[in-house]
Amino acid sequence: MMSMRKVFHFDASRETYHCDAAVVWCYDDRFDVPFRKFLKHIGVLRPDSIKVAGGAKCIASPDHETDREFIFDQIRKSIRLHGTGRVILMSHSDCGAYGGLSQAFKGDTKVEAAHHQQELQRAASHLAQAIPGMEINTYFVDFEGIWEPDGN
């Protein structure tokens, strides 16, 4: 049998927890701290984080259909394991998965924001069809704040 050496000590609860929301977001670190603060601000203290390049893009316009199914499977596991009843979908400005602000949108932040609003609506629609009954919230994050598209 392989042996292991403890390299860091901590104490964590062994209790199963109830998740406040499954959060599908990008792993771009520029937005990690403000988005985590925002989640706390809206009462999401125990998220099940699903971090993938592009965040909600994997549902709205995946590179491969299997990407969308993978995310849906992760959300279903969050529901089953942690009682999740809410999903938060996030996309952000200057996302490399979308080609970046300067390349894909020629530096036009309004065009980029409109595109992300459509993508978030498409992602929410796909999710609602795949997993009915979930509360779904969508957010676009740029370098000035976090925006909630109309109809959220």
User: Among residues 106, 44, 107, which one has the least CA distance to residue 78?
Assistant: 44
Beta carbons of 127 and 134 less than 8 angstroms apart: yes
For residues 10 and 121, the model is more confident at 121
Distances (CA, A) of 29 to 3, 53, 94, 119: 34, 11, 12, 21
Q: What is the mean pLDDT of residues 31-55?
A: 96
> Which class in CATH covers the domain with range 21-143?
alpha beta
Number of neighbours of residue 42 by Cβ within 10 angstroms: 14
pLDDT value for 151: 64
Dihedral over Cα of 32, 26, 43, 84: its sign: negative
pLDDT in tens, 110-143: 999 999 999 999 999 999 999 999 999 999 999 9
Residue 150 predicted with pLDDT over 90: no
Cα separation, 14 vs 58, in Å, equals 32
Q: E strand or H helix at 79, and its extent?
A: helix 65-82
Average the pLDDT over 74-92 and give the result: 97
CA atoms of 82 and 46, how far apart (whole Å)? 10
The separation between CA 105 and the C-alpha centre of its own chain, rounded to angstroms, equals 22
Across the range 17-28, mean pLDDT stands at 96
Q: Is the pLDDT of residue 49 over 90?
A: yes
Edge to edge, the sheet with strand 21-25 lists: 47-51, 21-25, 86-92, 135-141, 146-147
Number of CB atoms found within 10 A of residue 144's CB: 8
Average pLDDT over the chain, rounded to an integer: 95
